[in-house]
Structure 1
């Protein structure tokens, strides 16, 4: 494969860093975008060649998303792959929680995906074999106790994935989503110390699926919601 340009939103987080590193390891140019100002790894050791970091970016802002694409395009000529990882989670029951949680989780998960995708789409459509990969959630297929706001937001990501795949069916681009169960991150281990971590999905395992969906081998797959529920 020739070198491609990849944008990873939520790129400073536990999953985003692993996904970005996986693309970089195969020779791709990777732009990591995040609401946080700096990535933990960049702060300590600096970025290797082939990386671009953009921190402090609010992807609910359409102008901010367009600025990301402009910077990447000016530096590297265009966008081949967009991986929408940016999002957030909060366990909260409707009866005892706040309606603001529903708005906030929708913005963090669904709006960021739509805004970044719309900004990147013109550039993606100019590239052969372009790819969009979104992060959905197994927990949005059937919502459990306290999962209503999060499941609703991720369900919107699922429907966006399906709708956009149909919209772009005649173009040289695919749109898919991965639906992980619980991802094995330090934050999730802290929040759920008594859970069986052996059944969780490792970031690297999820990155492997994302790399496949970004590869030429996945060219016949579009509009798919791919469950990812095995461990490491």
Structure 2
């Protein structure tokens, strides 16, 4: 159930990486607000089918208030510019515009010092966490500039603001994302386009629990809470917020 009455009516929402542990919660939360359309990108067919089934099972059980929202799944690897171009072209051909981009694509490699880290690991973090954000922002912004409206939210990390050691590639890529957000926000200032990112600590997902089974899960951030923050930053209630890296550390 939605906790705020954010208005996404007649808006087209693009969620990149929208089938993962966090992305699926973001997709479901946006659905609560009945936008015109939600486009969800994916790479894993299994994750896509799981989310599709969950969404349509939920629709069948609930009232029909959000049944007018068109949901489209589009396969895309946004680390490749040709795929990003094709994705945005397909969306604009069908819907004319993108009002909101929630980019949830990202990954983590850590547990090694700089001297132990490989060039391949470094390049992978830059590709997944930074190049992907650059490419999808670049091609979405072109259409947002034309209509003088848009909201972009990226997922960086608390580690991007203050590194803890043994995660240099991850920390550098997430720090780069913060600077990218700040720079882009300045470039479009005055065009009614807001660009921000959030800085979560550890997100409470099954994969993180499996990787750190002895950790105190109560201090981790529930993905559904982060999804609400992303929706807020995508709404008109956040119109005075831009170029911000918002800490989302929780209260534990």
Partner of 1:84: 103
CA distance in 1, matches of 2:49, 2:207: 14
Which of 42, 45, 62 is the equivalent residue of 1:34? 42
Q: 1:189 to 1:175 in 2, by over 3 A?
A: same
In the TM superposition, residue 128 of structure 1 has moved relative to its aligned partner by: 5.1
Partner of 2:94: 75
Q: 1:61 to 1:204 in 2, by over 3 A?
A: same
Contact 2:24 2:51 in 1 (8 A): no
Name which one, 1 or 2, has greater alpha-carbon Rg.
Answer: 2
SS of residue paired to 1:222: coil
Matches for 1:116-195 after TM superposition, within 5 Å: 116-127=136-147, 129-195=149-215
Aligned length: 231
Which of 236, 242, 246 is the equivalent residue of 1:216? 236
Contact 1:202 1:231 in 2 (8 A): no
* 2:61 counterpart of 1:61: no
Moved more, 124-133 or 86-95: 124-133
CA distance in 2, matches of 1:105, 1:33: 20
Matches for 1:14-33 after TM superposition, within 5 Å: 14-28=21-35, 29-33=37-41
CA distance in 1, matches of 2:53, 2:12: 25
Partner of 2:249: 229
Partner of 1:93: 113
SS of residue paired to 1:125: helix
SS of residue paired to 1:182: coil
Structure 1: 5+ residue stretches without partners: none
**In angstroms, what is the RMSD of aligned CA positions?**
1.8
Structure 2: 5+ residue stretches without partners: 1-6, 60-68
For residues 137-164 of structure 1, give each alpha carbon's deviation from its aligned partner in whole angstroms, at most 9, with x where no partner exists: 0012121122111000011110000000
CA distance in 1, matches of 2:77, 2:184: 23
CA distance in 1, matches of 2:243, 2:51: 34
CA distance in 1, matches of 2:162, 2:88: 34
Contact 2:199 2:245 in 1 (8 A): yes
TM-score of the aligned structures, taking structure 1 as reference length: 0.93
Q: 1:145 to 1:118 in 2, by over 3 A?
A: same
TM-score of the aligned structures, taking structure 2 as reference length: 0.86
